[in-house]
Structure 1
Amino acid sequence: MIVEEAPAKLNLALHVRARRADGYHELETLFAFVDFGDTVRVAPAAQASLIITGPFGAALSDEGDNLVTRAATRFRERFGGGEYAIELEKHLPVASGIGGGSADAAATLRALARLHGIALDDPALFGIADALGSDVPVCLLGRTAIGRGRGEQLEPVPGRPGTPALLVNPGVAVSTAEVFRRWDGVDRGELGSNPLEGRNDLEAPAITVAPVIAEVLHILSEQCGAMLSRMSGSGATCFALFDTEVERGAAHIALRRTGWWSVATTLR
């Protein structure tokens, strides 16, 4: 059995530059990852199977086909191999803007590549990832990077490993398509080198879909030591980065009183 972690993805900044003719949007985003996420276990089997466990497993229990099974199918079509028994241990909220499904698909591809002795930087592996979804390539890369195009054109950059982070989700699932549909189409400028000077252009439209996001962001911004508070992706998960673990811990205690899902972690 191969065990692969599927860490949550954060968009430290997300600039939407334009709508494209193909229905996607031109993006500039700074991706980062944290030391918390799902776990994928893969083993060769006589018959294909997928078991979903974990705190958020029930949210996917009715899905007969998802990004994990699609990743396994695409891998087999490209590289060969047999059937696999896969377990997805789901710790990340579903439809929450932190790349849960994309991270799971990427972890599945990494596990299968390890089973078959395929290099993790094989271009064909990244081709499969790109076909599965815009965030799957960076989740396969698994490190801090600037994403352009749909987010699949990646430029690795130095990260800030060890930075204390707090993730908060108010328990609402937000449709990515609906949030992008409500974007006002205004290009507010390119992504700079400092994420603190960036923004998430999807925050405003996401708040129109789920107003509670504004409340989460307000509470996070008021926490002592929070140097950056922002929504990730299309929401509804928000995050704050802190100067110290002590300040993050105090904020975590304060946010627990809301009853929202939250996790204290660090950047990878």
Structure 2
Amino acid sequence: MIPATFEYHPASSVDEAIALLSQYGDDAKLLAGGHSLIPTMKLRLAQPAHLIDIGRIPGLSYIREEGNVVAVGALTTYATIERSEVLRRYFAVLPECASVIGDPQVRNRGTIGGSISHADPSADMPGAVRALKAEIRVRGPNGERTVAADDFFLGTFTTALEPGEMVTEIRFPLPPARTGSAYTKLANKASHYAVAGCAAVVTLGADGACTAASVVITGAGTMPTRASAVEAALMGKQLDEATVAEAASHAAEGLELMEDIHGSKQYRAQMAAVMARRAILKAAERARG
């Protein structure tokens, strides 16, 4: 498996990367960690004439608290996210999600910005980012803008990024008290991609009832999809086994289900419900402290 011929451009700054993207247009691809793009290039599913390496740009790998948000640089690796005490304190779903991506080699090179920009429907991180209702900062030839995670993912390998734009930062709003989050998935045994997965975030009131819920299904559909029916079924309820199981049974509603050698639409719908139940129960347990 050998990629088609391409020209390699190491960028030393965000501005240089954007200039190169503007210069080469649709013939160019950004390379961050490379664990999504390089395999597709080897299979010649992607054949960019120009590869712009942003992996050496300084100042894009960090995790830091800034007021009421935690900011994560686009080049922050999964391994760094997995080890972060700050993220573990506020958003257990992120280290948990990172810990089940690929293998140690992938986690040490793959980046959060690369994952959400690639928008593979079976990837793990896009679902967690959307469940946490993050804000995604992007920069391009027309300057910087912020896109809500709910508006960022548009379809299979498709995002709201405009030509010449790149992700620079993901910002996670700090959760209210008594909030828990979790990620569970049924993994493909070879690739470790999600056949069906769920990222869940729940907030409990003083009486233990659910006051907020954010549930996103990944792997089963053509993009990370908010399970609105599940969220509605949780609101105002005590999150016991029976209530959560009933709510999770709606996990496949609204999904444009995928079907392939790893599972039929019916199988993925059922597994989405199973993963949703497990993730919600774990998130609720964490919310109770």
- Structure 1 length normalisation: TM-score? 0.26
Q: Which has the higher contact order (CA 8 A, sep 6+)?
A: 1
- Structure 2 length normalisation: TM-score? 0.25
* Greater fraction of residues in strand: 1
